[in-house]
Structure formats: structure tokens, C-alpha cells
């Protein structure tokens, strides 16, 4: 079977500033991959390249087919993207926002049909935001908004979910909720998930495979135990940490050791 | 879960269409001269002063006003969506300035350009709307080009370069106005001020044609317009071919703005105010917002122009004064409210 995502030697530069250098990454169907790395290491750029909003050099194959052969409508049924933060300047209700995930499924001249409404409703139920459906998006808290955005992504019925630091602006409780939801979706729906992540400890707890980027290159790729070592963290982030097993004894957790 | 359905589409547009029809009839009966409708309709084809006033003076003007009010409002809706900014309007993008310049160049260089319809049997129609359309389109492309970085449209730059372009074009127009001879300058000024005053039905029909084509084109993009308000990349990820969409919006709205500017200049605030009011009532789904704004804009300008005709009768006020009188305070109120809600900008 072809991998869900398969990239060969992806390189990308803004003007003359290189951001990605020969990134080759293969993600199997149903995998849950966390992309780690310090600010500016290319995490977000990699996701933007994967979702075809940026053109990079190199090759990207989705389900064995070159990404350039997909149209945007087709691509939006395969991929859904949850951004770090979404600005919506217009007064849309939650239901309207979630239904936008169905845009590629119905005729551009028609209103949403029964199927679209049913999928949107199910997505909202799954992310626990059905009760918000008639509220305006801009009235919601950061955590609620992020759940709505995930609901919209699910309404796209994608095979692959891309997330860019989905929990960056959330408090601890909502962070954990988002990660638990992602894990559930991954297990129950065999959804392939690729997420750029900030919090190394949460990444270690919820993601089975981690990819560490450093200056636009893949520095380590493997299980949390293989990637999150004291040596790697020192080399990539330049800080000293101690790595200890979590209470279950299976996942590594980082403890920061301030220099003074 | 409340969503846009067919019933709501029909209800809202039906009510607005009925209001528009009432407004057209009502405004046709209002004016400095009292009209006797039965008298006017009795004997349309013989020399009949009531029929003359109704069918020659008022009705074409009202029909033109409806088209222009609707067109302005629709363009406002679309440009606001494109910029992701509910406070944008055609004047801000340099389009109207470009359209004026195009029209003026047409007037100066080819003053006798007239396109005969049906071999001249049905009269002649001016090329000016076409020149204004080209001016609008070229200026939009120029402003667009200067707001494009790494292949992405930056709304903030688009607004700024549009405003700057508009002032630049205003200077060019003043310059042109000073170098042409006196009679031509009179003509240009008259054209620039614009008014809805009496036009031949043929002209009115052609302006309607431009506006209807542009409007239907944009309406067909209603769903994509919803998505583009979320920003260019979000729209791409939801399946919109954004570059193609932007180009189509430019061409279609230039078509409308060119036609509107060529008869009436830019009538301020309609494109800003109407979409806002309509959005408050019917929501932000462009599949409904666009036609509803068109109809509401038509209703609004119909009444604004009627006020302009009768307030100081027999003298006439430029309709822009009426719209600015409502629009200026409204805009400030909006800015204040948006500021306090931390929405937009």
C-alpha cells in the first residue's frame, strides 16, 4: 500500500532564506506523527507545503499520486488543516463555519444538502461543540474556537489531518482535551494525523512517532524515546534537560534544568 | 442548528423584491410636480404631460438609480469579502479612480465615439462605460500587483495602495482638466460630478446589462466568497482556486464599477453602508448576502435620489450629498463599534 504522504527532497526558500532543506518524510496511513523543533525550524512551512498552499522543490506524493495532479477541491477532501489561530472578521455562526468544510462536496451553486448537514452535525458532536452551533464564532473562547476549527476539519471527511500547533493558545485542560480528541480520531477513524507541536511533553504522551526538525532538516525521526533524549534536546534547542519516564514508565518526560 | 435554506433565500429576496417594486412605483409618483397616475397611464402615446414626466423624466432615472445602488452594494459586499475586511469599499481600492480616469481619457481622446445600435435605428450608445471598465480593470490589476508578496495578496497593502492610487489618479484628472480647452473642461467636470438625471432608456438598458452580468458572475461565486473571507490560505485548504477567484472578482466588479462610474461617478457610502446593514439582518452567507444587498442598495438609492429631487425643489441636490449625509455618521459609528468589539481591522 502506498504511504499517505511521501515526500522526497523537499526544499523551500523565502527569497534567498532557505527554510526547508531536502526533507524526505514518509507517513503511513493511520499514523500519528508529531513534528517538533524550535521556532523557525520549518515546522509551519513544512505543513504549508504539504497542504499545497506553498510550492516547494522536490516531490510530494499523496496516496502514491503526485500532489500537482490534484485540484484544490479534490485536495480539500483528502486533507484538512487546522491552523494555529483563525481570524474570522465576519459574523459567522459556528454552524456556518463548520459547514464551510463541506464546500467541496456540494455544487458551488447549491445550498448544503441533508448529507452535508448530517456530517457537520456529527463533527460538532464529536468535538463537543454542537451546543455552540448558533453562537457567533468571535464570541467564543480560544478553546471553543479551536474545537470548532477541528469540527470544520472533520466535516471535510479528510483522510489526513494537518495541525499547526493546535494547542498553542489553550490552557492546560483544553490542550489535553484537544490531544485526547486527536488520539481518539486517530484510533477510531484511522485518521492520519500530522501535527506541528510546541509542547514536547504532551507530544511524547500522545504521539507515537516524533520528527525533530533542526534548521529545516530532519534531525531525528522515531519513537518519543528515541527522539526526546537529553543529547538531542541540547543539540536542537540548546538547553539542558533531564529526561525521566512518566508515571506509566513508557513515555519520556522532560524536566528543565535552569543554568543558574 | 440554524442554517441557510431555500425557504429563507426565497423569503428574504422576495420581501426585498416587493419592497423594491413598491419603491420604484412610489418614487415615480413623488416629485416637485404632482402626477396624476390615471391620467399618465390613460394616453401614453399622445402628447400627455403626465405621461411625459412619468416615463421620460422619472422612470428612467429611477431605474438607473436602482441599478447603480444595487451594483454599488454588491461590489461593496464582494470587495469586503476579498479583503477580509468588513469596512472596505470600492473607493478604497483605487478602482473608482481608475474608472474615472479611463472614462475621462475616453471623453478627451474620442469625444465622438458612439456605437450605433441596430444600424443607428435604436439610437447610439456611448463607449465611455467600456473605457471606464478598462480603466477600472487596469487600476485594479496594478493595485493588486503592488499588494502581492510571495504570491499572496496582502489586504492591508491592497487598501493602502488603493487609497494612494486613488489620490494619485485624482491629481492626474485635475491635471488633464487644466490642459484641455474650456468647453471640454466644462464637459469633464459635469461628467465627473455625475448624476442620475434623465437618460435615454437605451443607456439605462446598457448600464443594467453591464451590472447584471457582473452581478450574476459574482453571485455564482457566492460559496467561494464565504470561504475567501477566512483568508487566502484557509480558502485554498477548503478547496477554492483562490487566484482564479481573485481574477474573476476583479473583472466582474470592474465591469460593474466602470458602468456605474461612467454615468454617475462614485456615489459614496452605498457600497459600505448597505452590505453592513444587510449583514446584520440576514447574516454573512454570501449566497444570500449578495442578492439581498443588491436589492437593498437599489431600494436605498431609489429613495435617496428621490429625496435629492424633492428636498430643495425645484432645485436638485447631488444624490451623493444625501448618501454621505447618512453614510458618514454611520461609518464612524461602525468604526467605533468594531473597535469596541475588537473585531476587524
Residue pLDDT, tens place only, B239-287: 999 989 999 998 999 889 988 888 877 677 888 889 988 988 898 999 9
Residue B193 has pLDDT above 60, yes or no: yes
Nearest CA in chain B to A137: B343
pLDDT at B321 > cutoff 60: yes
Per the prediction, chain A carries an average pLDDT of: 90
Q: Do B229 and A88 touch (CB under 8 A)?
A: yes
Q: What is the mean pLDDT of residues B299-308?
A: 92
Using CA atoms, how far residue A134 sits from A100, A138, B185, B213, in Å, is: 15, 12, 57, 35
A120 contacts in B (CB within 8 Å)? 1
Name the least confident of A87-96, B106-115, B158-167.
B106-115
Residues in chain A: 260
- Average pLDDT rounded to a whole number, residues A175-204: 91
Q: Identify the three-state secondary structure at position A52.
A: coil
Average pLDDT of the segment spanning B49-56 = 76
Q: For residue B230, what is the nearest residue in chain A, using CA coordinates?
A: A88
> For B121, phi and psi rounded to 5 degrees?
-65, -40
Task: Using a CB–CB cutoff of 8 Å, tell me whether A68 touches chain B.
Answer: no
* B115-130: burial string, b at 16+ Cβ within 10 Å, e else: eeeeeeeeeebbbbbb
pLDDT of residue B121: 58
How many residues are recorded in chain B?
A: 345
Hey, what long-range contacts does B276-280 have (CB within 8 A, 24 or more apart)?
B276/B86, B276/B330, B276/B334, B278/B73, B279/A90, B279/A91, B279/B86
Query: Largest Cα–Cα distance of chain B, in whole Å?
Result: 66
A23 vs B50, higher pLDDT = A23
Task: Give the pLDDT score at B22.
Answer: 96
Q: Percentage of residues in chain A with pLDDT exceeding 90?
A: 59
More confident residue, B55 or B67: B67
Banded pLDDT at B120 (limits 50, 70, 90)? low
Q: pLDDT band for position B49 (50/70/90)?
A: confident
CA distance A96 to chain B (A): 7
- What structural domains does chain A harbor? 5-226 (3.40.50.300)
- Structure confidence at residue A152 as a pLDDT band (50, 70, 90): very high
CB contact under 8 A, A100 and B230: yes
Helix axes B6-29, B286-310, angle to 10 degrees: 10
Q: How far apart are CA A193 and CA A8, in angstroms?
A: 19
Note whether B340 contacts A: Cβ–Cβ < 8 A: no
* Nearest CB to B2; choose among A52, A77, A95: A95
Q: Which pLDDT does position B116 carry in this prediction?
A: 62
Which residues touch A215 (CB under 8 Å, ≥6 apart)?
A: A21, A41, A42
The answer to whether the beta carbons of residues A50 and A2 sit under 8 Å apart is no
What is the enclosing helix (H) or strand (E) of B209?
Answer: helix B201-219
Q: Distance (Å) from the C-alpha of residue A212 to the closest C-alpha of chain B?
A: 25
CATH assignment of B6-341, among 3.30.70.100, 3.90.1170.20, 2.60.40.10, 1.10.3470.10: 1.10.3470.10
What confidence score (pLDDT) does residue B296 get?
Answer: 96
Q: Judge: A14–B150 Cβ closer than 8 Å, yes or no.
A: yes
Looking at residue B81, what is its pLDDT? 92
Kindly report, residue by residue over B12-44, the tens digit of the pLDDT: 999 999 999 999 999 988 877 777 777 767 766
Residue contact A103–B226, C-beta within 8 A: yes
Whether the per-residue pLDDT at B218 is higher than 80: the answer is yes
Cβ–Cβ below 8 Å for B230 and A101: no
A92 with B9: Cβ contact below 8 A: no
Which of A73, A90, A95 is the closest to B3 by Cβ?
A: A95
Q: Decide if B226 and A76 are in contact by the 8 Å CB cutoff.
A: no
B chain contacts of residue A104, beta-carbon cutoff 8 Å: 238-239
Q: Do A93 and B4 touch (CB under 8 A)?
A: no
pLDDT computed for residue B344 by the predictor: 39
Q: Which positions ≥6 away from A65 have C-beta within 8 Å?
A: none
Q: Which residues of A touch B227 (CB under 8 A)?
A: 100, 103
Report the pLDDT value the prediction gives residue B115, as an integer from 0 to 100. 64
A122 touches chain B (CB under 8 A): no
C-alpha–C-alpha distance, residues A187 and A32, integer Å = 9
3-state secondary structure of A60: strand
Mean pLDDT, residues B317-327: 83
CA distance B309 to B104: 27
Which residue of chain B is at minimal alpha-carbon distance from A139?
A: B341
CB contact under 8 A, B343 and A96: no
pLDDT tens-digit profile of B285-299? 999 999 999 999 999
Share the mean pLDDT of chain B. Answer: 84
In this complex, do A100 and B238 lie within 8 Å of one another by their Cβ atoms? yes
pLDDT band of residue A219 (cuts 50, 70, 90) is: very high
CB contact B243 to A (< 8 Å): no
Could you report the per-residue pLDDT of B82-91, keeping only the tens digit for each? 888 777 777 7
- The verdict on ipTM greater than 0.95 is no
**Average pLDDT of the segment spanning B97-117:** 78
Q: Can you tell me the distance from the alpha carbon of B302 to that of B309, in angstroms, rounded to the nearest whole number?
A: 11
Residues B338-345, mean pLDDT to the nearest whole number: 50
- Range B48-57, long-range pairs (CB < 8 A, 24+ positions): B54/B28, B56/B198, B57/B198
The DSSP code for A162 is E
Amino acid at each position: 500500500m502506498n504511504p499517505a504522504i511521501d515526500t522526497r527532497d523537499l526544499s523551500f526558500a523565502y527569497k534567498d532564506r532557505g527554510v526547508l532543506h531536502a526533507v524526505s518524510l514518509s507517513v503511513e496511513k493511520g499514523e500519528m506523527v508529531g513534528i517538533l523543533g524550535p521556532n523557525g525550524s520549518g515546522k509551519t512551512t513544512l505543513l504549508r507545503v504539504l497542504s499545497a498552499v506553498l510550492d516547494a522543490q522536490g516531490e510530494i506524493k499523496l496516496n502514491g499520486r503526485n500532489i500537482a495532479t490534484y485540484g484544490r477541491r479534490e485536495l480539500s477532501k483528502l486533507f484538512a488543516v487546522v491552523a494555529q489561530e483563525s481570524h474570522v472578521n465576519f459574523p459567522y455562526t459556528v454552524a456556518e463555519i463548520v459547514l464551510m468544510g463541506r464546500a467541496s462536496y456540494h455544487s458551488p451553486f447549491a445550498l448544503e444538502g441533508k448529507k452535508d448537514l448530517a456530517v457537520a452535525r456529527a463533527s460538532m458532536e464529536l468535538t463537543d461543540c454542537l451546543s455552540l452551533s448558533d453562537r457567533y464564532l468571535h464570541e467564543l473562547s480560544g478553546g471553543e474556537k479551536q474545537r470548532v476549527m477541528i469540527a470544520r476539519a472533520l466535516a471535510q471527511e479528510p483522510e489526513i489531518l494537518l495541525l499547526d500547533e493546535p494547542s498553542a493558545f489553550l490552557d492546560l485542560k483544553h490542550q489535553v482535551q484537544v490531544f485526547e480528541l486527536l488520539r481518539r480520531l486517530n484510533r477510531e477513524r484511522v485518521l492520519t494525523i500530522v501535527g506541528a507541536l510546541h509542547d514536547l511533553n504532551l507530544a511524547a504522551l500522545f504521539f507515537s512517532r516524533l520528527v525533530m526538525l533542526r534548521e529545516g532538516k530532519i534531525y531525528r525521526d522515531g519513537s518519543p524515546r528515541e527522539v526526546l533524549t537529553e543529547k538531542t534536546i541540547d543539540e536542537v534547542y540548546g538547553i539542558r534537560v533531564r529526561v525521566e519516564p512518566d508515571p506509566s514508565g513508557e513515555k519520556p518526560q522532560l524536566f528543565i534544568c535552569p543554568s543558574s | 442548528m440554524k442554517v441557510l435554506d431555500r425557504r429563507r433565500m426565497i423569503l428574504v429576496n422576495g420581501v426585498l423584491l416587493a419592497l423594491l417594486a413598491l419603491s420604484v412605483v412610489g418614487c415615480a409618483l413623488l416629485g416637485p410636480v404632482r402626477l396624476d397616475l390615471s391620467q399618465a397611464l390613460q394616453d401614453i402615446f399622445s402628447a400627455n404631460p403626465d405621461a411625459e414626466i412619468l416615463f421620460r423624466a422619472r422612470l428612467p432615472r429611477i431605474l438607473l438609480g436602482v441599478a447603480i445602488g444595487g451594483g454599488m452594494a454588491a461590489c461593496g459586499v464582494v470587495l469586503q469579502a476579498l479583503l477580509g475586511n468588513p469596512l472596505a469599499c470600492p473607493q478604497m481600492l483605487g478602482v473608482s479612480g481608475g474608472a474615472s480616469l479611463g472614462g475621462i481619457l475616453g471623453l478627451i481622446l474620442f469625444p465622438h465615439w458612439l456605437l450605433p445600435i441596430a444600424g443607428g435605428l435604436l439610437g447610439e450608445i456611448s463607449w465611455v462605460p467600456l473605457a471606464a471598465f478598462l480603466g477600472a480593470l487596469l487600476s485594479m490589476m496594478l493595485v493588486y500587483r503592488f499588494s502581492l508578496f510571495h504570491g499572496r495578496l496582502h489586504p492591508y497593502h491592497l487598501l493602502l495602495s488603493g487609497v494612494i492610487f486613488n489620490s494619485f489618479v485624482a491629481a492626474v484628472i485635475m491635471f488633464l482638466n487644466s490642459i484641455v480647452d474650456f468647453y471640454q473642461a466644462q464637459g469633464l467636470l459635469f461628467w465627473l460630478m455625475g448624476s442620475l438625471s434623465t437618460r435615454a432608456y437605451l443607456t439605462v438598458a446598457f448600464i443594467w446589462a453591464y451590472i447584471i452580468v457582473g452581478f450574476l458572475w459574482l453571485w455564482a461565486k457566492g460559496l467561494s466568497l464565504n470561504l475567501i473571507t477566512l483568508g487566502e490560505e484557509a480558502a485554498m485548504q477548503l478547496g477554492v482556486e483562490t487566484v482564479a477567484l481573485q481574477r474573476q472578482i476583479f473583472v466582474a466588479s470592474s465591469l460593474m464599477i466602470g458602468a456605474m462610474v461612467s454615468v454617475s461617478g462614485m456615489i459614496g457610502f452605498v457600497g459600505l453602508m448597505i452590505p453592513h446593514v444587510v449583514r446584520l439582518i440576514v447574516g454573512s452567507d454570501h449566497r444570500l448576502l449578495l442578492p439581498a444587498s443588491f436589492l437593498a442598495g437599489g431600494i436605498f438609492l431609489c429613495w435617496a435620489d428621490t429625496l435629492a429631487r424633492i428636498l430643495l425643489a425645484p432645485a436638485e441636490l447631488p444624490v451623493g450629498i444625501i448618501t454621505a449625509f447618512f453614510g458618514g455618521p454611520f461609518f464612524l459609528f461602525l468604526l467605533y463599534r468594531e473597535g469596541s468589539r475588537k473585531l476587524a481591522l
